[in-house]
Structure 1
Amino acid sequence: MENIYKIIWTDFALDELADTFEYLETFFGEKELKFLANEIEKVISIIAKNPLAFQISIKKSVHKIVIAKYNTMYYKIVGETVEIVSFFSNRQHPDKANY
C-alpha cells in the first residue's frame, strides 16, 4: 500500500495563492483560473505520493516545482506531512522569492 503524505498550506502560501487567483480572475478570466487549479491538483497528487519527486531549492530543506511557468510552489517535508510554504508568482522580481 502506498504512503500518502498529508498536505497542509501555510497562511503565507494561501495568501500568495489567493493573490494569484485574484490576479488571474481580474486579467485573464475563468479559463486560466481553472487551468491553474487543475495544474495545482496534479502537482499536489504527485507530492502526496512522492514528495521527493521535485528538486531541492536553494534552501536545502525546501523543494520547488514550477507550475504553469508563471508560478513556483515551495514545500518542505516534515515527517509524514508536506507543508506548502510559498506559492510564488514568477511575474514578480526573483529577489522577492523567499526560497
Structure 2
Amino acid sequence: MEFKKKIIWSPEAKEDLENILDYLMFRWGIAITSRFLFHTEKMVTQIAINPKQYPIFSFKKRIRRCVLTKQNTIYYRVKNERVEIVRIFDTRQNPNNLRILFETKE
C-alpha cells in the first residue's frame, strides 16, 4: 500500500488559486467559492493518495494534469515522496499560454 504523498504548492500555483478564489468571491459569492475550495481540496487529496492516476501532460517535464472543473486544470509533478502542484490553469485561455508557462520551468 502506497502512502499519501506530501503536497507542495509552487508560488505560481498559490497565486493561481488565490486569483480564482478572488474571482469566484467577487462574481458568485461565498457559497460557490466554498464549494470550489472544497472540490479543490478533495482533488488535491486524490492526487496525494494516487498521483499516477491522472494522465501525463509533458513527459519531458514529468508534468501530469488533473481536470478540476470545466474551467480549471491542475498541473503537477511527482518528485520522490512529494507532489508539486505547478499551476492551476484557466482552460478558457489561449492554449499557447500553457506551453509558454512551462517553457521556463525546470
**Cross-structure match for 1:42:** 42
**Cross-structure match for 1:9:** 9
Letter in 1 for 2:55: Q
CA gap 1:91/1:31 in 2 versus in 1, 3 angstroms: farther
Percent sequence identity is: 34
* Count of residues in correspondence between the two structures: 98
Deviation at 1:92, TM superposition (A): 2.1
TM-score by length of structure 2 reads 0.85
Q: Which aligned segments of 4 or more residues in structure 1 are displaced greater than 4 angstroms?
A: none
Deviation at 1:32, TM superposition (A): 1.5
2:83 corresponds to 1:82: yes
**Cross-structure match for 2:27:** 27
| CA–CA distance in structure 2, aligned partners of residues 18 and 31 of structure 1 | 16
User: Helix, strand or coil: the match of 2:70?
Assistant: coil
TM-score by length of structure 1 reads 0.90
**Cross-structure match for 2:64:** 63
Per-residue deviation, residues 36-92 of structure 1 (Å, max 9, x unmatched): 1111111111111111010111x2110001112111100000000000000111232
CA RMSD of aligned residues (A): 1.3
